Amino acid sequence: MKINKSLKILQDQFTKYFKESDFNATSFINVEMVLYIVRRISPTLDPFNAYVLLRGYQLINHEYKGEDLYLWQQAKHKLFCYSSRMNWEEDFIKYCEPEKSYESIRLYKIVDNKVIKNEGSIPQADREDIYREYLLEKIQTKHSTKVAEAGTYKVNCDGKRFITIKIPEWIAEYGKQNNSLKRSPKQKREIIQLSYEELLQSAEEMKKKFLMIIVMMFL
């Protein structure tokens, strides 16, 4: 996802704090933007479960309107990688780790399972304004489809991890012959509405089933 100038400057300023860490400035900032959304949208939500806010569900029992609703919708697109529970927990734990080189620049701390803003003297203490500005920016959509040439490509799948894809000649040739791709219109589906409690319960059930499958594989 393309970032704006203010966010790029912030990343550049923070890079020096991550030279000896398996964490990085980009992930640090992305975690903070999720925590910013938690503070605005659902301040009572345990931040360890913040990934549920980024999933494609219409949550009920909560009122969203105006700018808060727009920020939440934008975050679901721009921070989509953290809709994965595994990705979120991995980076959130790193963000919270004590005695790290980036401890002095954390904008947030977690107290009693709540996101609390640090009021001390930290660099770029007004960065919530930068996060808000970035999330408010309209996502640019592309309508044209470019057909890839034959070859080997590395694809950034979630902002951090890369996968290698090889496109053989015959697929590339087929693409050239059909470079005018038509998309079938999407059918409007009924909105799935869930409460936080239902969503978290479903996540726990999926986790149990997954663990059972893993255990069975090693029996």
Which residues touch 77 (CB under 8 Å, ≥6 apart)?
139
pTM for the complete prediction? 0.65
CA distances from 206 to 64, 128, 139, 201 (A): 28, 34, 32, 9
Sign of CA dihedral 37, 41, 47, 51: negative
At 156 the three-state DSSP class reads strand
Per-residue tens of pLDDT for the chain, all 219 residues: 567 889 999 999 999 999 888 899 999 999 999 999 999 988 999 999 999 999 866 554 455 568 888 899 899 999 999 999 999 999 999 999 998 999 999 999 999 999 999 988 788 888 999 999 999 998 776 555 566 777 787 776 666 666 777 888 766 776 666 554 454 555 556 655 666 666 667 767 777 776 676 666 665
Give DSSP secondary structure letters for 70-98: HHHHHHHHHTGGGGSHHHHHHHHHHHH-S
**Beta carbons within 8 Å of 60's beta carbon, 6+ residues apart:** 193, 194, 195
